[in-house]
Amino acid sequence: MRRWLLFFLPAMLFVATWSASAATTRVMKVLPHFLDQQGRHALSPSLYDRDAYQAQLRQNPAQRSALRFDVHWKAKATRPPTLKLRVELRGTAQGGLPREATLETEVKAGTLSRWSSLTLGGQEYKDFGEVTAWRVGLWDGERLVAEQKSFLW
């Protein structure tokens, strides 16, 4: 009886913690990237080259055409299975108030993590100015279920 209990108790604890962590909804990583005039965020697949090119774009605003947010997120399938991925941006102040913009797209929840991209581009990007803070959230209707935000948010 004791041997059975020694095996059964740790197995149940493992199953309980595994299912609890698998059920979480979260935004795991947010990568804001400047895009050049050709829509590229890097010149080669190397992460070192990407970071160097991003530094170059950061120093030379005339070379930029857009700002793309690559978001790594995970959500358990819900009913309905669609969620909204929303990026809220705050920019440099004009007339005493900071500029604000919102990017939004519908995403489908599942068992695996996913990457989604949202882009602020075109005339809206040019009019917005420099981004000073951002917040990325996963929304189920009007309820925020997961978020990640920049330090200045």
Whether 139 maps to a domain, the answer reads yes
Interval 23-31 mean pLDDT = 88
Residue 16 lies in a domain: no
Domain of residue 71, residue span:
66-149
Residue tagged 């200045």 (tokens): 152
* Structure-block tokens of residue 136: 């990325």
Domain for residue 101, yes or no? Answer: yes
46-75: pLDDT as tens digits: 999 999 999 999 999 999 999 999 999 998
Residues 6 or more apart whose Cβ sits within 8 Å of residue 137: 27, 85, 86, 88, 144, 146, 147
Q: Is residue 112 part of a domain?
A: yes
What tens digit of pLDDT does each residue of 30-51 get?
999 999 999 999 999 999 999 9
Q: pTM of whole model > 0.85?
A: no
Does the residue 23 lie in any domain? no
Q: Is 7 domain-assigned?
A: no
The helix (run of H) or strand (run of E) holding residue 46 is none
Tell me how far apart the alpha carbons of residues 12 and 147 are, in angstroms, rounded to a whole number.
31
pLDDT at 92: 86
> How much is the pLDDT for 77?
78
pLDDT at 93 over 50: yes
128 belongs to a structural domain: yes
Domain tally for the chain?
1
In the 3-class helix/strand/coil scheme, how is 81-108 assigned residue by residue? CEEEEEEEEEEEEECCEEEEEEEEEEEE
Query: Which range (30-44, 81-95, 114-128) has the least confidence?
Result: 81-95
Quick check: is 41 in a domain?
no
Confidence of residue 98 (pLDDT cuts 50, 70, 90): confident
pLDDT number for residue 49: 96
